[in-house]
Structure 1
């Protein structure tokens, strides 16, 4: 058992040993202990049927100014952003502006040489597309910001081979969701951020949620959580310290696979909306939370922007994690039991933890 697992196990045993605590008290003990062990720094919100049963903030949003994290602190969501990209595609499909079965070459003709990749392949991570981050690490002029069209241009220029034929198997792909971001812009004739704001964030009154690229398009955001990493000496530093040739700088213009920023409270609004018809109907929800399939009919544990898991004890679970320099994020929804777990962190250390199994034990009184 590794060091992190031992610490969490000891924490949980301590909690159980204290007798008949409420769920709130048990969760408080768990996360307070993790914070004290420098294994959690950020916001946690846990809800049952939409009612918050535990919410607490830990640590600094800004180490320099000693601004504390609170319930309104805005975090970079990293790959948790993908569920909003997928929802935008669903909304455009509902508007009859595209089809899931459309070839991406219809919208991005420069990539026609990749063959029959469809929007559905991008959504389910079955496209076989190579990783744009690896391509840019090798080929890109790192003194310049890259935007989504640059991904297309670089793929067309160097034509790296597909990892497999479209639909043949599953492989998580940031490239696919970045291309979805570009398709959203081409079809809607609006920026990615504008479309999400008008069609998702504003209707759901997610007032503290936005597409934000801090280096590419800097502006002041009240209560913003800066993301910190640990240097070789054990000090908390901003990734900016590594200079413009670090990926967090030159890839800061890319949207679709990341770059949505939000709060735990806004994400709870998002969670509740997904149980209602505010954005989509039952048919759409079934598509979003159904597993994708490969060409041979095998299922993949990913729907539209969500991992989809069947658990014998807890029923259908959909979730997504996110990781970017300085940020670790997580949202999970238990569809059969209507439980919600939201964790947003702005520190990455070797001990940073997502104590999901421990939260399960408390939520289900195990």
Structure 2
């Protein structure tokens, strides 16, 4: 398969899924990396509806929950460099203001570092708080949790006793950057820039300090909460033969019986990892097959609410099959075809690892 065929496949899929007027709509950027080479990095549609500025591979998006594996990586990196904690260390060692849920009778043991990584903390979902302010920083988010808990607000109580089960927790991952800051003595954004982004040459990736305005250069919507700004042009740096993979003590099973660990949903039978993200009008998806050295990332500045698509994951599914079949990663099964670039779009069919912490 020649590299030139991949853009045609991707363009055909986007046109088929989004319609022939896709270049005028809130759009999508896509990155595809195989065996250490970028096969595609580009955008479709516009970054700003007012100016009609087009998207491309340099357009920066809020990664939303796709940033979780980078957040987990930061924690492991901090442990490797500074030490002083492991998965069984209570979070309150570093964040002393975190409510004592044991004393409150809500849990039988403390929230541990590992609970944040594996979503077993029982911490409540801040995205459902009526008082949520998208401009809050991570520290302000923790402060409001403390205030709400002290006031007896049921929104601040644990969803379940810590360690009893799996329960996806955005709040848990929002606390990890605060732990990294406490361990390293540096702001999380500074830490990531100095220790990760700059050494890897990732000039467009950063930790935002505030919510992005959709009119600014950057993501359409999206908060602070230490999500990351990222462009598909940097996909090769992250996943082109460099596995963002932490040997950190295994995974846990989620409510569907699938494995989750270190910011990745792990598919045992398929031998791959993925994660989706949705936040404040953005929709994102990342897929990584380490055995085949094949990665796909889809970043969109629309959540497609009310449309035929349910988000970036739907766009990924079609792109994955069409490109993977052409690369020989998947076998044709008669159900997946790609729309040619000439169609009208309406009816067309060197690893980076860390030691255990």
Per the shorter chain, which TM-score range?
Answer: 0.7 to 0.9
Which one is further off, 87-96 or 157-166?
157-166
CA offsets per residue over residues 206-233 of structure 1, 9 Å max, x none?
11101124548x8x97xx3452xxxxxx
CA distance in 2, matches of 1:35, 1:50: 29
CA deviation after TM superposition for structure 1 residue 266, in Å: 1.3
Q: Greater share of helix residues, 1 or 2?
A: 1
2:144 maps to what in 1? 154
In the alignment, structure 2 segments of 5+ residues that lack a partner are 102-108, 150-155, 325-329, 333-357
Of the candidates 252, 258, 277, which is equivalent to residue 292 of structure 1?
252
1:227-271 C-alpha deviation (Å, 9 max, x unpaired): 2xxxxxxxxxxx6xxxxxxxx6xxx4432xx2x001112132111
Residue 211 (structure 1) aligned with residue 207 (structure 2): yes
Is the contact between residue 32 and residue 295 of structure 2 (CA under 8 Å) also seen in structure 1? yes
1:125 aligns to 2:122 (yes or no): no
RMSD over aligned CA atoms reads: 3.0
What is the CA–CA distance in structure 1 between the aligned matches of 2:285 and 2:186, rounded to whole Å?
Answer: 28
1:158-173 correspondence runs (5 A)? 158-159=148-149, 160-173=156-169
Using the size of structure 1 for normalisation, the TM-score is: 0.73
Kindly indicate whether the alpha-carbon contact (under 8 Å) linking 2:219 and 2:229 is maintained by their aligned counterparts in 1: no
Provide closer, same or farther for how the CA distance between residues 163 and 205 of structure 1 changes in structure 2, counting only shifts above 3 A: same
Alignment partner, residue 134 of structure 1: 128
Query: Which secondary structure state, in structure 2, belongs to the residue aligned with residue 287 of structure 1?
Result: coil
Are residues 83 and 325 of structure 1, via their aligned partners in 2, closer, same or farther at CA, if it must alter by over 3 Å?
same
* Change in CA separation of 1:355 and 1:157 when aligned onto 2, cut-off 3 Å: same
Is the aligned partner of 1:90 residue 2:84?
Answer: no
Q: Give the TM-score of the pair, scaled to structure 2.
A: 0.75
Q: Distance in 2 between matches of 1:186 and 1:292?
A: 26
Structure 2 residue matching 1:347: 3-state secondary structure = coil
- Are residues 51 and 125 of structure 1, via their aligned partners in 2, closer, same or farther at CA, if it must alter by over 3 Å? same
2:10 alignment partner, one of 14, 27, 34: 27
Is the aligned partner of 1:36 residue 2:36?
no
Contact 1:316 1:334 in 2 (8 A): yes
Q: Which residue is equivalent to 2:293? A: 338
Q: Against the structure 1 CA distance between its residues 33 and 300, is the aligned structure 2 distance closer, same or farther, given a 3 Å change threshold?
A: closer
Judged with a 3 Å threshold, the aligned counterparts in structure 2 of structure 1 residues 40 and 209 are, in CA distance, closer, same or farther, namely same
Cα contact 2:33–2:240 (8 A) shared by 1: no
2:58 aligned partner: 72
Count of matched residue positions in the alignment of Structure 1 and Structure 2: 300
State the shift of 1:22 in Å.
5.1
Distance change (3 Å), C-alpha of 1:40 and 1:47: farther
1:338 Cα offset (Å): 1.2
